[in-house]
Structure 1
């Protein structure tokens, strides 16, 4: 490789680094949250509450034992994963396409009662083709898509908590 080509490649890398740093880009690392103590209240959302608790602890937040000790109270409710038929073959009458819908309600408030996140629905959809000849594989695909929807909802909740104005 010629010296000119190496210098050119190095210059391109440096310019890209400068551009990325100038636009606010940064690598994923530990997330910053505007609070230190959180209480998670779950109303029919036990799985999300458990995983969110674990993720927040990994981010060095303290999970409060009671609402009174928390800076922020996160309320999760009505966690549901629905399966719906999207299409059926007009010739055979057999299932062809399925839709998965993961939904959870989220709200947050201070211990004083001040609302930080108005009650809102997080709803995520995925659909897939169903093949009768690969029932086991499609069942596994449905499980994987359900997990993907759950993880995506978790990330959305965590981002919304990062954006709170607690102070």
Structure 2
């Protein structure tokens, strides 16, 4: 029977080995990514859920400040569309809805001060599916709202990754 000391030593050595291996291959946790511009104007109301989330994510980049005056911004993020859809995926034998597919689509573009496009109009999309039950309608409405919120967060993360790779011409 192995002693507790030898087991602890083994776990310590294994954790240290994993840390060295991951560090040596270039692995690092994804955190806020720096953006290549000092100021940005976000063309979404700061009072909307999407506007607040975008501003919060941009401010965590540590390199970029959101400005409300588009004339003072290095770049302008324009939200061209933000659409939500719910589509029936399947029905029960009696014709009642069994599954829905939720889709959220964002269309945006990024321009510099002169109006030149840094990111042409781009669509990003998130989908989720969920089962539906008429007897649990309140719970299913809450589940749908949570799924839409999760999709919006996912889309903002996708948008932030696209903003992080933009390099302004010097």
Structure 2: gaps spanning 5 or more residues? none
Contact 1:49 1:76 (8 Å CA) reproduced: no
Aligned to 2:149: 147
Within a 5 Å distance, the mapping from 1:98-117 to structure 2 comes to 98-117=100-119
User: Could you tell me how far apart the structure 2 residues matched to 1:6 and 1:55 are?
Assistant: 40
Q: How many residue pairs are counted as aligned between the two chains?
A: 164
SS at match of 1:34: coil
Contact 1:107 1:117 (8 Å CA) reproduced: yes
Aligned to 1:70: 73
Structure 1 residue 144 displacement after superposition: 0.9
SS at match of 2:56: helix
Q: TM-score, normalised by structure 2?
A: 0.84
Structure 1 residue 114 displacement after superposition: 2.8
SS at match of 2:17: helix
Aligned to 1:56: 58
User: Could you tell me how far apart the structure 2 residues matched to 1:142 and 1:65 are?
Assistant: 32
Aligned to 1:125: 127
RMSD: 2.1
Structure 1 residue 128 displacement after superposition: 0.8
Aligned to 2:37: 35
User: Could you tell me how far apart the structure 2 residues matched to 1:124 and 1:27 are?
Assistant: 23
Alpha-carbon distance change, 42 to 3 in structure 1, aligned in 2, over 3 angstroms:
closer
User: Is 1:22 aligned with 2:24?
Assistant: yes
Q: TM-score, normalised by structure 1?
A: 0.86
Contact 1:105 1:122 (8 Å CA) reproduced: yes
Contact 2:100 2:130 (8 Å CA) reproduced: yes
SS at match of 1:51: helix
Alpha-carbon distance change, 2 to 127 in structure 1, aligned in 2, over 3 angstroms:
closer
Structure 1 residue 7 displacement after superposition: 3.5
